[in-house]
Structure formats: structure tokens, C-alpha cells
Amino acid sequence: MKHVFAVNGSPRLEKGNTDLLLSAFLDGMQDAGAVVDKVYSSQLAMKSCIGDFYCHNVVPGECIHKDDMDMLYPRIRKAEILVLVTPVYIPLPGTFQFFLNRLYPLIGSFIHTRKGRTRTRFRRDVNIRQIMLLATCGWWEIDNFITVERIIREFTEDVSVQYGGAVLRPHADFMRMRGKVTVQGNEVLKAAGLAGNEMIKYGRISSKILKKIAQPLISKKESKILLNQQNQQYNDLDSKHFV
């Protein structure tokens, strides 16, 4: 039985597109027999890392801060799959970045070189074997995820575990219309459930399922028109900059 720890960095919590997609994904994992643990980074009483290396040089594995991360560290250590979940900001929501930084006590001090790059690994009491990304964005193109995915890939390489891939949903607002999930939106959520199921059963997600999740829900032209209409009051003020 695999244990999964998922942290959702969206400040919109359960009301957001990110959690809508994540819930379907985690349901698929549970259907495959996984034990799932989910938290929202914005609900954590969590101080920022101050970079004093207390967790390495004074008490290895223990953070100097005493806050909500204390109760999370044992749960994170227990997980075999870490699911990092975020909407695209510039590039990450603030509390989600705090959470990533506060994972440092779980990382060992020993460094090595792999393919010309300095890397390390999780401490021996950390069970994580795979890290994966689930992300949403508001703009149309899949390329809007490049920076976020690079950050998560680099972190995965740094701690020397397997990258489990990325579940990506561009122009995520169009999964719903007038507050209700559309027919295509339901197709995306169904595919997300299948993705979670595959991840537990096979340790990977097929490209066919990932493409189904990322499928266009609207044309790029229509997306631009609708988003500009929604933001018309702001566009009137700054459209002159694009002339």
C-alpha cells in the first residue's frame, strides 16, 4: 500500500481549478489502493526558512522553527510519492514556495556529482521515491508551465529521486462555465482520475492520458477574446502599452 502526500499551493483552496483537478487525481490514486494525505500550504502556520542551517549543523533533520511544519514532517517522511501542486503565478504562490524551502530538514548533508551537477539526497528516514507535479494555469499554451516544471524537476534531481511526471491543465478556467463543470471539463477530470490510478499501479502516467488532461477546451483566439472581455476594465487602462 503506497502512501501519498500532496500539498496544494493554491490560495483558492477547494474552490479553485487546481483543487478540482487534484481531487480527481487523488481519487484515482485511492481507487488504486493508495493512502492519500493532502494539505493546503496557505492554511499552514508556517514561518519562512531563514537559512541558518540549524537543521544541518546543529540538530540534523530538525528545523529551528516550531510551527505547523513540525506535525507535517513525520507525514511527509512516511510518503513514497510526493505530489507538488500549484497554479502558475510568478512563478509560484508565496506559501507554496515557503513549503518547498521548509523541506530542507529532510535533505541530507552529503553531496555528490551526477552528470556534472552537484546533488544530494533525502535523509535515510525519508521514504519518498517519486516526486511529481500537478499544475494549472489560466493562459492557453502548455508552454506556460515551463518555468514551474523546471523548478520541480530540478528539486527532484537535487534530492536524487525519480521524477514522476507532470499533470498539466492549461486554460483551466474553461473546465467550468457559469460555475458548472462542462462536458469537456468532466472528460479532463475523468482522465485525471485515470492518471492517479496509473501512477499507483504502474509508477508512471501514459502520454495518452496526459494529453487528454491537457486537451484544448477552446481555441486560442476564443480564449484571448474571452479573457480580455473579462478583464475589460483593466484593459482599458493599459492597452495603450501594446499599441
CATH of the domain at 177: 3.40.50.360
Instruction: Indicate whether 12 belongs to any domain.
Output: yes
Specify the pLDDT at position 226. Answer: 87
What is the reported pTM?
Answer: 0.94
Transcribe the chain into DSSP letters: --EEEEEE--TTGGGSHHHHHHHHHHHHHHHTT-EEEEEEGGGS--PPP----IIIIISTT--S--STHHHHHHHHHH-SEEEEEEE-SSSS-HHHHHHHHTTGGGB-S--EEETTEEE--B-TT----EEEEEEE-SSS-GGGGHHHHHHHHHHHHHTT-EEEEEEEESSGGGGEETTEE-HHHHHHHHHHHHHHHHHHHHSS--HHHHHHHT--SS-HHHHHHHHHHHTHHHHHHHGGGG-
Instruction: Indicate whether 135 belongs to any domain.
Output: yes
Instruction: Indicate whether 227 belongs to any domain.
Output: no
Instruction: Indicate whether 224 belongs to any domain.
Output: no
What's the number of domains the chain is made of? 1
Specify the pLDDT at position 239. Answer: 55
Instruction: Indicate whether 238 belongs to any domain.
Output: no
Predicted confidence pLDDT, tens digits, the chain (243 residues): 899 999 999 999 999 999 999 999 999 999 999 999 999 999 999 999 999 999 999 999 999 999 999 999 999 999 999 999 999 999 999 999 999 999 999 999 999 999 999 999 999 999 999 999 999 999 999 999 999 999 999 999 999 999 999 999 999 999 999 889 999 999 999 999 999 999 999 999 999 999 999 999 999 999 999 888 877 755 555 555 554
Instruction: Indicate whether 237 belongs to any domain.
Output: no
Query: What residues make up the domain containing 15?
Result: 3-218
Instruction: Indicate whether 143 belongs to any domain.
Output: yes
